Amino acid sequence: MTQPPLRLQSLTREQHLAFVAARPSASHMQLPSWGEVKPDWTAESLGWFDGEGQLVGAALVLYRPLPRLKRYLAYLPEGPVIDWHAPDLAERWLAPMLAHLKAKGAFSVKMGPPVVTRRWSPDAVKAAIADPAARRLRDAEPTSYEPGAQDIAERLRRSGWRQTEPGGEDGFAAGQPRYVCQVPFAGRTLDDIQRGLNQQWRRNIKKAEKAGVKVVQGGYDDLPVFYDLYAETAERDRFIPRPLPYFQRMWTALTAEHPDRMRLYLAHHDGDTLAAATMLTVGEHVWYSYGASTSRKREVQPNNAMQWRMMCDAHTLGAAVYDFRGITDTLEESNHLLGLLRFKVGAGGEAVEYLGEWDFPLNRMLHKALDLYMARR
């Protein structure tokens, strides 16, 4: 017998946080604090309630207004946090969400289901990189398929959702990454994790230790030091840096929600800061979020030392996974991001593919206009 659609209503911050706290993990982009990091968007916490009044799902929705129109793009980054394997996903869960967002003035909805589809072990990624015939990770044979993921994708398509393909030559989409690198921690000791590092990683950690690299935790006042390195990294790696106030806002919002939600690490050598990184934690999921380094003194291997300290601390925090975030899908030697893929996989990370981001046009004309505008950017 078909069950009635779930009831959807706005949540208080406390309700939203309590729901997430009762789960093993959720994306940091699905927490109330993330709305405060994005001042150009309006945020709303939404909850799904069953017939008995129990909260069974939650989401952070970000609304971006169209210039001069009271219409919005509704975005649920790496969310919503619902039962994605429910047989009546479209009718019972997503239909009431679309109705709510349309009533709010949304002309289009974008979401990123936190559903894994395939995984490639470190050895499988290494073999794919070495294979001259393999041009993209998605073409290499995966180590495992996640049951039910393709069924979810089919149900989304049948109900009118459209999958956004990873864009650009490097496989990164315009929104959140579809391909990430994750080191599994669940059920593993720190010695197990250390044995998962490749020879180069182990060698570099020893080099850093011998050279006297010291990795310390920083605070809000150290963000300008991080930012100087980040701006240098942006110029070197050819990406547009976010402004310093973004990171200051991020620190203030996330640490106010939970004192350990965001950490800052700095790698020092002889009084010189050579590398810095931010780390985020929600439940059993830990992310390496933003990294920065200088070209000076690379021979003392500050990045390996810093990442190993972060991995050790994540393990102490009870992490089930250490997430290196986005990786390139392109395996060609000419791609400047291939070195970053090698670095992350060398730490014992497996490549993980998510379902990607999906759009639902509530107003086809405005949705198409947005697509054309984004294509020109």
Condensed to tens digits (0 to 9), the pLDDT of residues 336-356 reads: 789 889 999 999 999 999 999
Amino acid 97 reads M
Question: What pTM does this model have?
Answer: 0.93
Q: Look over the chain and give the mean of its residue pLDDT values, rounded to a whole number.
A: 92
- CA gap 97, 220 in Å, rounded: 37
- CA gap 360, 362 in Å, rounded: 6
Secondary-structure percent of the chain, ordered helix, strand, coil, rounded to 5: 40, 25, 35
- CA gap 375, 303 in Å, rounded: 35
pLDDT digits (tens), the chain, 377 positions = 568 889 999 999 999 999 999 999 999 999 999 999 998 899 999 999 999 999 999 999 999 988 777 889 999 999 999 999 999 999 999 999 999 999 999 999 999 999 999 999 999 999 999 998 889 999 899 999 999 999 999 999 999 999 987 544 444 345 789 999 999 999 999 999 999 999 999 999 999 999 999 999 999 999 999 999 999 999 998 889 999 999 999 999 999 999 999 999 999 999 999 999 999 999 999 999 999 999 888 889 999 999 999 999 999 999 999 999 999 899 988 887 898 899 999 999 999 999 999 999 998 777 676 666 555 44
Angle at 26 between CA 23 and CA 30, to 5 degrees: 125
- Residue 153 tokens read as 């994708």
Strands 285-293 and 321-326: parallel
- Strand order of the β-sheet with 179-184 is 144-145, 116-120, 350-354, 179-184, 321-326, 285-293, 272-282, 262-269, 214-218
Instruction: Measure the N-to-C terminal CA separation of the chain; round to a whole number of Å.
Output: 48
- CA gap 275, 256 in Å, rounded: 25
- So what's the pLDDT on residue 174? 52
